[in-house]
Homo-oligomer: A and B are copies of this chain.
Amino acid sequence: MNTPLQIPARTIMTPGPVEVDPRVLKAMSSSILGQFDPSFTSLMNETMEMLREVLQTSNHWAFPVDGTSRAGIEAMLCSVIEEGDKVLIPSFGRFGGLLTEIAERCGADVHLIHCEWGKVFEPNDVIKEMKRVNPKVVAMVHGDTSTGRVQPLKEIGYACREMGVLLLVDAVATVAGTEVKTDEWMIDGLITGTQKCISVPAGMAPLTYNDRIEKILLERKSIEKGLVSSEQQRLAQKDRRIQSNYLDLSQLQDYWSPARLNHHTEATTMLYGLHEGLRIILEEGLANRYDRHQKNEQALVAGLEAMGLSLFGDKASKLPTVTCVTIPEGINGDSVRSMLLDDFGIEIASSFGPLHGKIWRIGTMGYSCQQRNVLLTLAALEAVLLRHKAKLHVGEGVQAALDIYKQSEKVEA
């Protein structure tokens, strides 16, 4: 007991949590500031400003919830959805299931439509269903890491706005790794997480929402006992009160406003990390960052296919930040993953539910998304698969990936 921390070196090629830039780790070792210290509240304001830029929005509200990604998802859903509200959830993977689960717990009347895992929806099919169901809210995942697919949202966003339906989007797997245009796609509320392409440790869920959402929050707002003297004021909206206190966006936005109405104690060190992580993203530039993610994905895919492995799922909707590989017949997927971790210090992921044991998932996200990591992963995976007696085109995987990098060096030169 009382063993000192011993953190082995790891190359993390999963869909999160991913490696973190040493600059972020250093920022997170800064000393503590009080939550109402002006030096701290100005960090909060700067973080909001940088988040707006990364989320491509002019929304006033853009701040992190102090919890991991699903805390942000639940904050958005439980603050917007009221008992009996119709919510349409087009689900194409596990995280559509999570939206369903959370919406049900908020008392929603959930209308769930599925598509086969490995595909996404034709936007028109969703729009047709919207017209049939006439929901208050459409809740959708943008990139579902469980199947490695990305759902086009633009047409759905336009249709929602036209029909007066609110569009809430889980963009945990995509923000800062591939294009996410909150305003242009007419997304009303969008949630992301820190531990994927933003490349900051898990523990915060940045989100943003527009005036249409804020209007609902203000209608449902209640003030905490002990902060106002009037019980009448406190209980004004009792019937429509948001069911969570911790995840109540109407209270959180007061804490993130100049009023700084005390709610929780902001997670100091996590905010330092997010602040530095957002700075790094904006220094790189969103377009460059998306290009980097795409180039490394291309190299990884080329390498895997040249090695003789097949990718899972429909090509057109492949999520650029997660690559799903079909586990070859006769190979024990978990044994391969363990050997990769134990002997090479490289981590890749399995999947959930119906896909467990059928596919591996390789992430190329944030700081983990770099040439060195892709090449070493391909080399190590080949070696491990050979040890597992898989039939491969030996030596070809890494060469194919190198070809992509060398080509792109030429283009850039």
Contact = CB atoms under 8 A, between A and B. Distances in A.
Given A1-B50, A29-B25, A71-B66, A243 B245 contact: no
A157 B71 CA distance: 33
A193 B266 CA distance: 12
A225 B100 contact: yes
Contacts of A2: 50, 279, 282-283
Chain A interface main SS type: loop
Interface stretch (A13-21, A318-326, A390-398, A404-412): A13-21
Interface in A1-49: 1-10, 12, 14, 16-20, 25-35, 37, 39, 43, 46, 49
A358 to B, nearest CB: 14
A202 interface: yes
Contacts of A66: 67-68, 71, 202-203
Given A71-B264, A203-B267, A37 B105 contact: no
Interface stretch (A121-129, A211-219, A270-278): A270-278
A201 B353 contact: no
Contacts of A50: 1-2
A32 B8 contact: no
Contacts of A193: 265
B276 A5 contact: yes
Question: How many copies of the polypeptide does the oligomer hold?
Answer: 2
A31 B19 contact: yes
A102 interface: yes
B270 A270 contact: yes
B270 A102 contact: no
B19 A32 contact: yes
A101 B279 contact: no
Contact of A35 (B6, B17, B266): B17
A236 to B, nearest CB: 14
A32 B268 CA distance: 19
A229 interface: yes
A388 to B, nearest CB: 20
A288 to B, nearest CB: 15
Interface of A: 1-10, 12, 14, 16-20, 25-35, 37, 39, 43, 46, 49-50, 66-71, 74, 78, 93-98, 100-102, 104-106, 146, 193, 195, 201-203, 224-229, 241-247, 262-270, 272-273, 275-276, 279, 282-283, 341, 347, 352-354
9 contacts: A2-B279, A5-B27, A25-B29, A66-B203, A97-B226, A100-B225, A106-B243, A227-B352, A228-B353
Closest 5 CB pairs of A and B: A97-B226, A203-B267, A97-B225, A94-B226, A29-B29
